[in-house]
Each structure stands twice: as structure tokens, then as C-alpha cells.
Chains A and B, each alone.
Chain A
Amino acid sequence: MAATRKQQGKTMETSGQADEVRAAIDYGIDIEMLIDNIKRDPGELIRRHQTALNTAEKLREAKYK
């Protein structure tokens, strides 16, 4: 499960992460999801993106029915 922003901040403080990571957390980006993603290969990232896009398209179609 993705960490809350507060939890992410705590993780960052304890591990001394960089300003770039802090800036992303402050903006509201789910840094845990980024950490998970960078472990995946491009093929898996594209497949997962496709699944998310297909879901979004189905929801959009349902909205207009």
C-alpha cells in the first residue's frame, strides 16, 4: 500500500534523501510508487500503463452512456 505523505516524509528524513525526492513528495507525488516502478523493466511498465489506460477509457465510455 502506498505510504501517506507524512510517512513518506518520515522515510525521507531517516534515509537522508535528496532535494529532488523531497520536492516530489511535497508536490504530492507518491514516491513509493516511483520506487516500485524503477525496479520494473520497460516492458512491464508499458503493460501496466496499458492496463491503467484501458481502465480509464472504459470509465470514460461508461460516463457518456
Chain B
Amino acid sequence: MKSNFFNLLERLVRADVDFVIVGGFAGVVYGCTYVTQDIDICCDFSTDNLLLLQKALSDLHAVHRQTPKRKKLELTRANCREYKNLYLDTDIGQLDCLSFIDGVGDYRKVKEGSRIIEIEDMRMRVLNLDELIESKKAMNRPRDKEAVLQLEAIKKLKKQ
């Protein structure tokens, strides 16, 4: 599989999915030096938004990555409410869709704590640096500890 995160994000933007980039990939957007294997987004888990998300990925063979048989993504108006998170694999990369971010809160809080970035002709939201640091501190896995060190250094360097 060849990942193409830019294309993945472009599809979400073009399909009008309501989302915020969070997690390790948000760190990359701020200048972290590590390489991440997936994109984490926090999104509105309303039925309409999840169906837009599914439409954005429609030709990418999206599957639930963490189910035993890698079940195909088949969202309907009836089953959307069953999901709190979606851990997906697609032809162009892994996409984790979360409804809640530890240390920040639900999608409304995450969106409030985000800012718009412009990439080429696209505008998308990314979690603010302070909120990203808080979310990484809340997760507190070994890789999060390194991310916090990088993000706090970036915050300080940006002020200088």
C-alpha cells in the first residue's frame, strides 16, 4: 500500500466533511520530526457527517482495520449511531476518526480549540498547539511523551 495523506485530506475537504486534524499528524503540521503511519481526525459523528465521510472514501475500499475480517465500511442511516470511533484502512492510508479527544473533549470542544490552515487551495482545521500538547499529555504513552517534548520546544521556539 502506498500512503497518500494529502489526497486523503483533500477528499475529506472536497466532500465537506466536518473534521479537525488531531494526534501525531497534527504534530507534523506544526513541525514535529517523526513519521506517523496514519491520520487521526476528530469529527462530528452525526449521521449526515459520517455519510459524507463514507462518500469521500467511496472508491478507496475502506475497511474497519480492527475487526477480525477487516469488515467493509458500510455506514447507513440506521447504524451510524453505533459508532464512537472509526479505525479505517483505505487504499491510500489509515484514517482514525474519533469523536472524543482525551485532554480536550468532544468534537465541539475540539473544533473550538482548533485553527484553520491553508494547504494549496484547501482550508482545513488542525487542533491548536496548546490543545494538542494537552491531548498528548492525557494519552501519556511513550511516543506521546516524546511528542510533548517536541511540541513544547516548538511552542517555545515559535515565540523566540
Docked-complex contact A38 and B126, CB < 8 angstroms? no
B95 CB, min distance to chain A CBs, angstroms: 14
Tell me which residues from 25 to 55 in chain B have a Cβ below 8 Å from any Cβ of chain A: 25, 28-33, 35-37
Identify B119's interface contact among A23, A42, A52, CB under 8 A: A42
Most buried by B among A43, A49, A53, A54: A49
Instruction: From B120, B158, B160, name the one whose CB has the most chain A CB atoms within 10 angstroms.
Output: B160
Q: Is the CB of A56 within 8 A of B153?
A: no
Chain A binding surface SS class = helix
| 5 A-B pairs closest in CB distance | A37-B31, A24-B153, A43-B119, A20-B152, A20-B156
Q: What's the least CB distance linking B91 to chain A, in Å? A: 13
Are the CB atoms of B155 and A52 closer together than 8 Å? no
Given A29-B33, A38-B31, A42-B117; A49-B5 close (CB under 8 Å): yes
CB of A3 within 8 Å of the partner chain: no
* Chain B stretch 45-75: residues in CB contact (< 8 A) with chain A: none
In the complex, 11 of the A-B residue pairs with CB atoms within 8 angstroms, ordered by the A residue number, are: A23-B149, A29-B153, A30-B33, A34-B157, A37-B31, A38-B157, A46-B9, A46-B29, A46-B119, A50-B3, A56-B35
Residues of A within 8 A of B4 (CB): 50
Q: Which residues of A contact B33 (CB under 8 A)?
A: 29-30, 33-34, 37
- The answer to whether A24 and B150 touch across the interface, beta carbons within 8 angstroms, is yes
The answer to the question of B146 belonging to the interface, with a C-beta cut-off of 8 Å to chain A, is yes
Q: A24-B152, A49-B28 are in contact. Are A35 and B157 (CB under 8 A)?
A: yes
- Cβ contact within 8 Å between A34 and B154: yes
Residues on A with C-beta less than 8 A from B149 are: 20, 23-24, 27, 29
A 12-38 to B, binary, CB cutoff 8 A, 1 in contact else 0:
000001101101100101110111011
A47 on the B face (CB < 8 A)? yes
CB of A53 within 8 A of CB of B3, answer yes
Q: How far is the CB of A39 from chain B (nearest CB, A)?
A: 9
B121-159: CB near A (< 8 Å → 1, else 0) gives 000001000000000000000000010011011111110
What residues of B have a CB within 8 angstroms of the CB of A40 in the complex? 31
Interface string of B4-19 (1 = CB under 8 A from A): 1110010000000000
